[in-house]
């Protein structure tokens, strides 16, 4: 079984993906980390983020062993990831890595921006997570402060709105809900409430299948 979770920055889709994967004993891939890793390679080299040839080279040399690097979670790397991920050539290089991950048993949860639309259009369950940008900014600010980073909530909100705009309006694989995705608005849910709502969606899809 493949579960695709898409949604904007700081919507909680990553945590949801991790928790759903643990619940069903599936493997989990936070696909944002891939774009963040590519962006970090360019940042470390002092390269221009719009240098497509360099970004493609970084994507081809992706090292999953480095996906756990906490620096990848920072806002600076996230912003840079939003820029490099707009390149169709970078995205193309990363498609097979993601599809291979999804195909391996026993099942997988992938979260990102284009999982239900481009990477796994045949996913068994698609969930599109949304939350009010003000709520997302609040949550991201608290997370950053918990990591010991200074964070100004108004700036975080501005960053989220800018990132949403860039991710939604790029020509290749923009952030959008697949027509068969189930919408999950977690603006007024805590993490446990969001996880429960997601499990309810997966179980409803499974039950529907068993009936036919």
Q: Which residues bind ligand DC (CB under 6 A)?
A: 9, 31-32, 35-36, 78, 81-82, 85, 112-114, 163, 167
**Nearer to ligand DC by C-beta: 81 or 201?**
81
Cβ 39 to ligand DC, closest distance in Å? 8
* SS3 sequence of 103-125: HCCCCEEEEECCHHHHHCCCCCE
**Nearer to ligand DC by C-beta: 118 or 202?**
118
Cβ 13 to ligand DC, closest distance in Å? 7
Listed in order, strand segments (DSSP E) in the chain are 2-6, 27-30, 108-112, 125-130, 182-185
Cβ 113 to ligand DC, closest distance in Å? 4
Phi, psi angles (nearest 5°) of residue 29: -130, 120
Cβ 134 to ligand DC, closest distance in Å? 17
**Nearer to ligand DC by C-beta: 14 or 195?**
14
Residue with CB nearest ligand DC?
A: 32
Q: Which residue has the tokens 């010991």?
A: 148
**Nearer to ligand DC by C-beta: 47 or 74?**
74
Cβ 103 to ligand DC, closest distance in Å? 17
**Nearer to ligand DC by C-beta: 159 or 202?**
159
Residues with Cβ < 8 Å from 3, sequence gap 6 or more?
17, 20, 21, 24, 26, 107, 108, 109, 110, 123, 124, 125, 126, 127, 202
C-alpha to C-alpha distance for 13 and 154, rounded to whole angstroms: 22
């Amino acid at each position: 079984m493949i579960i695709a979770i898409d949604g904007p920055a700081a919507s909680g889709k990553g945590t949801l993906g991790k928790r759903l994967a643990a619940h069903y004993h599936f493997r989990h891939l936070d696909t944002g980390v891939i774009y963040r890793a590519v962006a970090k390679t360019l940042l470390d080299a002092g390269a221009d983020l719009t240098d497509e040839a360099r970004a493609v080279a970084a994507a081809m040399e992706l090292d999953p062993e480095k996906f756990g690097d906490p620096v990848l979670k920072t806002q600076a790397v996230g912003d840079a990831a939003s820029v490099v991920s707009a390149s169709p050539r970078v995205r193309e290089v990363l498609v097979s890595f993601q599809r291979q991950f999804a195909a391996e048993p026993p099942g997988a949860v992938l979260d990102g921006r284009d999982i239900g639309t481009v990477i796994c259009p045949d996913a068994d369950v698609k969930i599109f997570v949304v939350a009010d940008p003000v709520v997302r900014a609040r949550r991201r600010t608290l997370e950053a402060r918990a990591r010991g980073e200074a964070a100004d909530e108004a700036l975080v909100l501005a960053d989220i709105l800018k990132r949403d705009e860039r991710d939604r309006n790029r020509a290749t694989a923009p952030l959008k809900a697949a027509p068969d995705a189930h919408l999950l608005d977690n603006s007024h849910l805590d993490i446990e409430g969001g996880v429960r709502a997601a499990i309810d969606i997966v179980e409803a899809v499974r039950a529907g299948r068993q009936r036919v």
